[in-house]
């Protein structure tokens, strides 16, 4: 074997996955067909949940100062994301290329073997291992073998096609434009403004005087382009919709995108897995694609590592599809709904008006914000009545070992964590057989607000991805059963 895992694609999904695998001590080769990063940024910023995920791995400080805000939208209708229960707000000003640079540095520091100018062109599943055919810088072909292959190679994924995954959905119905321009004074339209001719957005991109514009003109048919559109096309569409002439602006980057919506029916076929855009494509509404890819990677990384390292049975890998495919289904649903709201014409106005009224109800805002930010995600971790079961562990300040820490900080190493909040020696004893995989931490909670689901909690088992796998009181499974399900057999029972 050349590596335990080969990851195809060094986009945000592949890089996050490489970092997660290395954190768990798994050797990984990442292949990317590009000689170097393009520096282009489709995404700008990330959601509250990705802020939390980066925080739990200690990555936020690497991105420096960033503009954050609770101002969000659903299909162009303003939603206050401050209704979410998180210590973080969404990041709004971090170009995707900065996020990728940060993730690449982190993954390399952890020892990921990232090989550029390597195009994966074919794969062979030999049952007990995977072999990939890779075209190198001089056009030469070579072969690499690994136990598992993960396709993080974007919407047109070679891995997905070569491994025979189905990718059903709907084709693009229209083409939209994106341009980063300089030398025009445009008022920010961060939430889409709808006009009779279509929808536009504009906003500052960093602090270099660059403005990002998005133009969605009704009736623009989808096109399969081999080259990006000209800036003149984009400026003409902008003018037809808004009446404003921006044709004199300098342009740094122009691109076209569509609203094709497709979801792989399986996220795993034997030794091949898919994550990120390789598994799901959709209209970029509400900035969710990169976030979902990063969170796919965080769900998959520790599971794949456990299976590769032999500490958990292979069945753990099936929970990756079981947990993330429903997330993909909701992503398809909500981006389609958002597209209907902001890409259609006056016939939808009554529906927009009704929704605008509904959004005034906090419960409705929380539902929509939770869906778009990823904070609503609840995995099936077994029966019980504890309100946090399956949800992500909220940030909890702790005092343990006479020092302050937090549930977020304790996840930095990417290990499982049993938080014993009542100094319960019996509980710790029951978990001792998993101490090679799970940190047993006795600590006192600090500043838990009354009414919080953590207020009466005596212990919580948190998976490496930050989701609550068991909590007391309230879980119907007993602790050893939960530990075995997520972390494999106890070492004490084995010996
Ligand atoms: C206009 C627009 C705006 C967007 N805004 C946002 C936003 O604000 N927030 C958000 O979360 N998302 C946004 N997205 C979506 C986001 O850009 C994608 O979801 C994200 O890039 C997916 O990451 P990925 O790593 O899965 O795939 P990609 O970023 O596509 O990376 C795939 C990588 O695989 C490599 N590759 C491909 N084929 C091969 C091969 N055969 N061999 C080797 N390497 C290969 C590619 O070179 C590339 O580096 C937006 C998208 C668009 C179009």
- Dump pLDDT digits (tens) for 455-470: 889 999 999 999 999 9
Pair 203, 93: CB distance under 8 Å = no
Q: At what angle do helices 96-109 and 12-23 cross, to 10 degrees?
A: 20
Pair 169, 158: CB distance under 8 Å = no
* pLDDT at res. 495: 45
Q: Which residues of the chain have pLDDT under 70?
A: 493-495
Pocket test for ligand 1, best of 18, 39, 43 (most atoms within 8 A of CB): 43
List the residue whose alpha carbon is closest to atom 2 of ligand 1.
42
Alpha carbon 37 to chain centroid, angstroms: 20
List the residue whose alpha carbon is closest to atom 6 of ligand 1.
43
* pLDDT at res. 449: 82
Give the C-alpha separation, 8 to 150, whole Å.
Answer: 6
* pLDDT at res. 493: 59
* pLDDT at res. 447: 86
Give the C-alpha separation, 462 to 482, whole Å.
Answer: 10
Pocket test for ligand 1, best of 284, 299, 343, 374 (most atoms within 8 A of CB): 284
- Placement of tokens 């009736």 in the chain: 219
User: Counting runs of H as helices and runs of E as strands, what totals does the chain give?
Assistant: 12, 28
* pLDDT at res. 362: 96
For residue 445, give Cα distances in angstroms to 70, 405, 408, 421, 448.
27, 10, 13, 7, 7
Nearest ligand 1 atom to alpha carbon 158: 41
Distance 413 CA to ligand 1 centre (A): 27
Other residues' Cβ atoms within 10 Å of the Cβ of residue 225: 10
Q: What is the DSSP letter of 286?
A: S
Provide the whole-model pTM.
0.96
Nearest to residue 331, comparing CAs of 366, 380, 296? 296
Nearest ligand 1 atom to alpha carbon 134: 42
> Residue 165 has which token pair?
């995954």
Nearest ligand 1 atom to alpha carbon 276: 26
Pocket test for ligand 1, best of 6, 32, 114 (most atoms within 8 A of CB): 32
* pLDDT at res. 451: 83
Q: Which of 425-434's residues contact partners 24+ apart within 8 Å by CB, and which partners? A: 427/459, 427/472, 427/479, 430/479, 430/480, 431/479, 431/480, 431/483, 432/492, 433/480, 433/483, 433/490, 433/491, 433/492, 433/493, 434/483, 434/487, 434/490, 434/491
Cα angle 432, 436, 442; round to 5: 50
**Cβ of 374 less than 6 Å from ligand 1:** no
Q: At what angle do helices 12-23 and 289-309 cross, to 10 degrees?
A: 30
Q: What is the DSSP letter of 270?
A: T
Summarised one tens digit per residue, pLDDT across range 101-155 is 999 999 999 999 999 999 999 999 999 999 999 999 999 999 999 999 999 999 9
């Amino acid at each position: 074997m050349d590596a335990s895992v080969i990851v195809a694609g060094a986009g945000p999904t592949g890089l996050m996955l490489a970092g997660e695998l290395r954190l768990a001590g798994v050797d990984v080769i990442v292949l990317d067909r590009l000689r170097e990063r393009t520096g282009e940024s489709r995404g700008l910023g990330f959601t509250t949940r990705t802020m939390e995920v980066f925080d739990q791995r200690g990555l936020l400080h690497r991105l420096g100062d960033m503009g954050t805000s609770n101002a969000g939208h659903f299909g162009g209708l303003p939603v206050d994301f401050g209704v979410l229960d998180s210590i973080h707000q969404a990041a709004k000003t971090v170009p995707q290329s900065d996020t990728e640079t940060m993730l690449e540095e982190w993954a390399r520091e952890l020892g990921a073997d990232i090989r550029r100018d390597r195009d994966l062109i074919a794969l062979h599943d030999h049952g007990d291992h995977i072999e990939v055919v890779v075209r190198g810088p001089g056009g030469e072909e070579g072969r690499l073998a690994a136990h598992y292959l993960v396709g993080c190679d974007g919407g047109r994924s070679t891995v997905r096609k070569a491994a025979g995954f189905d990718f059903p959905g709907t084709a693009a119905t229209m083409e939209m434009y994106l341009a980063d321009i300089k030398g025009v004074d445009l008022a920010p339209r961060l939430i889409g403004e709808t006009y009779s001719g279509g929808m536009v957005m504009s906003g500052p991109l960093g602090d270099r005087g660059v403005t990002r514009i998005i133009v969605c003109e009704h009736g623009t048919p989808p096109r399969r382009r081999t080259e990006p559109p000209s800036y003149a096309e984009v400026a003409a569409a902008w003018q037809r919709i808004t009446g404003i002439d921006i044709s004199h602006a300098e342009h740094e980057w122009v691109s076209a995108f569509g609203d094709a919506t497709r979801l792989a029916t399986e996220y795993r076929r034997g030794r091949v897995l898919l994550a990120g855009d390789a598994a799901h494509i959709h209209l970029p509404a509400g900035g969710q694609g990169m976030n979902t890819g990063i969170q796919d990677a965080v769900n998959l990384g520790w599971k794949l590592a456990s299976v590769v390292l032999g500490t958990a049975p292979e069945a753990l890998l099936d929970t990756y599809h079981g947990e993330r495919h429903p997330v993909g289904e909701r992503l398809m649903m909500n981006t389609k709904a958002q597209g209907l709201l902001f890409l259609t014409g006056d016939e939808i106005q009554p529906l927009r008006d009704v929704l605008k009224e509904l959004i005034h109800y906090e419960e409705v805002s929380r539902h929509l914000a939770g869906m778009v930010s990823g904070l609503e995600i609840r995995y099936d971790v077994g029966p019980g009545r504890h309100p946090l079961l399956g949800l992500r562990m909220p940030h909890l300040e702790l005092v343990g070992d006479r020092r302050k820490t937090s549930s977020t900080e304790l996840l930095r190493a990417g290990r499982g964590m049993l938080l014993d909040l009542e100094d319960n020696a019996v509980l710790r004893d029951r978990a001792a057989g998993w101490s090679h995989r799970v940190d047993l931490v006795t600590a006192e909670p600090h500043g838990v607000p009354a009414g919080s689901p953590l207020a009466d909690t005596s212990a919580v088992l948190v998976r490496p991805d930050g989701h609550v796998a068991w909590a007391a009181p309230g879980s119907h499974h007993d602790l050893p059963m939960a530990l075995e399900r997520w972390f494999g057999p106890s070492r004490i029972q084995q010996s």
